[in-house]
Structure 1
């Protein structure tokens, strides 16, 4: 009996302990044994990220959030708060960059179906296309100070400024935002309130937080959904009206072709910039590098008797190559000029024409080169040297004028300065070494 009662008391105690464990809160209960190699177990962090811009604003994708799973590699099983914060900030920056236009909000609860972040002048374009009546509601927003103006235009006849049917917005003399319309042509760029080639049903503007916005409902010319548009900004005025803008950099690249249905955009400014860069590279290599090298060969290689007549053929090959490449560069310059009516870089153009003329005379002078013992050889040498050195000097001057027009990264200008400095130092070294 004693043993049975003892066993009963022990079983009761075990049941009591089991009941106590079942009622103990989870946080107070002993934790389960750790996993083996727990430091190699990957960790995950689920982050919500906004949908990217350039999509239809009515799409369900914009109303929901996409979830991104961040995977921590082994050794990062317990990421520190700074690590998590850094990752969250990175995703936040990505999301912000993607939503540069879709995050815009407008007064009077205006809403637009599509938007596009424009590549120049810190501007966004929002629109809603109405196929039933061939109209489009537009909101063009650009960063601008209160003393400046902005403009947006459709160009039914081209891809640039000439023929652009433009809407301007700026503060008038009473410091009230106002809008005017004017069809820009290269023959007349003086802005005055004039009718456009298509109907403008509504139009107004506002200024807020160092940004100006143009609102307009316009007739879509020919109900074409693929349009050429131009946008602009400046602080230049004449008689209270917008007047002129910068003729370099983003202000001459702010044009594109836009599909109003898909929102896809192709920048005409980028194509033009590529042609400008091609023009600059061809001329820098030809007139600015090959031509001086050819002159150095003729001046310092001929002192070696063993190099005769090799130096002459190298000189001719180098100069003729420079001329051929230079003709290609000059041709691209002519094409750029014909496509840029109303925008003329007078000094760059005039030096280029003079340079090409002298270089052509220099090449053809090769056909009239007298023999060494001819009585006119002395005068031919004078002519040849004067024209040759003049071409080199004009080439370098015009290349730097081209740098000012293109306004590329400083590294390109510094690289060319290094090349010219080397080509200038080489004759000095050869003169000291050879006594030539």
Structure 2
């Protein structure tokens, strides 16, 4: 029954989704904790060692498609830019990386290199796959339970650092790093962007990537078994498609909230356009419950072709938009693998069932043709 695989798929997705913990660092580096920072496509990984009074960190800044500098730092006094003891990194035009420490003493800072108020060691940076990663080991005082941290990015003009934006998400990258509970909190409360991103991804993947395809498969292949499955196939088809569309509407609503949320940094016209088209086509599909003609109506054949055509379109666009969404949000590999397995199972099952359906239908057709030939031959012999 299709409902069981659906719930199993949801469980797999929710268990494997992790914004940062599945990231694999080069040279087998590992950290005890990590967090998906709420702005600027950033992540922080860290290991706090109270016995040695050290904090090992890796700051990741993704989505760098043009020359940028990135910075992360600790403010010993308050969660704000001025007073931050920062680590700055960028890639030079020749491809080499520059990383250094810079105390931020005022709003007009040029992020000049300088010593911080605490020792820093093992400083390095790398750039690959549109991502800068900064590594460092900081010395922290005894009995340190929480730290104010700030992160930022800005444009590069050759080898010179440009001013970062003064609006939207660039005014909010600050928070509190709780070393005791091993979690990071945004300075203005819960990380709402991360919650929206996860909700948007899960809801739309479940809707357009699982429930809609299963509803399609139920109608196409269970119906092919024969009259004995009528109207069971229809009820199962509706039981998957209608809730799937409602979940898709909820996923679309979270996408709209992300679009309206200035700090999300997500504005993808192609992804959004396909989503709107799916919403409209899906509405046409579920409206079939009300407007479909009777089986013996003269326009029923035309309506069937129209309904099936839209169904195929929704199926293909839904799959495409899910993978586009993965490329935008760049989730952890566990998330991608989980849905990849589900997607592969759906495709493989469809291929097998399509072959079975064709062979079954062809077998029935051949049998019908043999009966017709036998009847004709009998008639000729009688004549």
Q: How many residues are treated as equivalent by the alignment?
A: 256
CA drift of 1:229 comes to 8.6
TM-score by length of 1: 0.50
- Within the alignment, does 1:285 sit opposite 2:206 as a pair? yes
CA drift of 1:237 comes to 3.7
* Equivalent of 1:275 in 190, 196, 201: 196
CA drift of 1:119 comes to 6.9
Task: Supply the distance in 1 between the matched residues of 2:83 and 2:58 (Cα, whole angstroms).
Answer: 14
1:206 aligned partner: 112
1:127/1:411 Cα in 2 relative to 1: closer, same or farther (>3 Å)?
Answer: closer
Task: Supply the distance in 2 between the matched residues of 1:307 and 1:231 (Cα, whole angstroms).
Answer: 60
2:223 aligned partner: 302
Task: Supply the distance in 2 between the matched residues of 1:356 and 1:362 (Cα, whole angstroms).
Answer: 10
CA drift of 1:315 comes to 0.4
- Within the alignment, does 1:388 sit opposite 2:343 as a pair? no
1:252/1:310 Cα in 2 relative to 1: closer, same or farther (>3 Å)?
Answer: farther
* 1:209-358 superposed matches below 5 A: 231-233=151-153, 236-237=156-157, 242=162, 255-257=173-175, 266-267=185-186, 270-303=191-224, 304-340=226-262, 343-358=266-281
* Equivalent of 1:404 in 303, 327, 343: 327
Any unmatched runs of 5+ in structure 1?
1-91, 102-116, 130-134, 149-169, 172-176, 181-199, 213-227, 246-250
- CA deviation string 1:88-111 (max 9, x = no partner): xxxx9834886339xxxxxxxxxx
Deviates more, 1:234-243 or 1:265-274: 234-243
Structure number with the bigger relative contact order (C-alpha 8 A, sep ≥ 6) is 2
1:337/1:229 Cα in 2 relative to 1: closer, same or farther (>3 Å)?
Answer: farther
- CA deviation string 1:100-149 (max 9, x = no partner): 39xxxxxxxxxxxxxxx8976572222446xxxxx99603312414749x
CA drift of 1:238 comes to 8.3
1:335/1:98 Cα in 2 relative to 1: closer, same or farther (>3 Å)?
Answer: farther
Task: Supply the distance in 2 between the matched residues of 1:428 and 1:379 (Cα, whole angstroms).
Answer: 26
Task: Supply the distance in 1 between the matched residues of 2:176 and 2:48 (Cα, whole angstroms).
Answer: 27
* 1:354-369 superposed matches below 5 A: 354-369=277-292
1:374 aligned partner: 297
CA drift of 1:258 comes to 5.3
Task: Supply the distance in 2 between the matched residues of 1:425 and 1:326 (Cα, whole angstroms).
Answer: 24
Structure of greater Rg: 1
Task: Supply the distance in 1 between the matched residues of 2:323 and 2:252 (Cα, whole angstroms).
Answer: 16
Task: Supply the distance in 1 between the matched residues of 2:89 and 2:51 (Cα, whole angstroms).
Answer: 21
SS at match of 1:124: strand
1:410/1:346 Cα in 2 relative to 1: closer, same or farther (>3 Å)?
Answer: same
**Does the aligned pair in 2 maintain the 1:282–1:329 contact within 8 Å?**
yes
Task: Supply the distance in 2 between the matched residues of 1:382 and 1:343 (Cα, whole angstroms).
Answer: 37
CA drift of 1:368 comes to 0.7
CA drift of 1:241 comes to 6.0
Task: Supply the distance in 1 between the matched residues of 2:104 and 2:192 (Cα, whole angstroms).
Answer: 31
1:142/1:321 Cα in 2 relative to 1: closer, same or farther (>3 Å)?
Answer: same
Task: Supply the distance in 2 between the matched residues of 1:355 and 1:298 (Cα, whole angstroms).
Answer: 20
CA drift of 1:377 comes to 0.6
Task: Supply the distance in 2 between the matched residues of 1:97 and 1:364 (Cα, whole angstroms).
Answer: 65
Any unmatched runs of 5+ in structure 2?
1-46, 62-70, 115-122, 126-133, 135-147, 178-182, 362-383
Task: Supply the distance in 2 between the matched residues of 1:229 and 1:146 (Cα, whole angstroms).
Answer: 23
CA drift of 1:397 comes to 0.5
TM-score by length of 2: 0.56
- Within the alignment, does 1:140 sit opposite 2:61 as a pair? no
2:377 aligned partner: none
- CA deviation string 1:275-322 (max 9, x = no partner): 201110000001110001001111011122211101101101110010
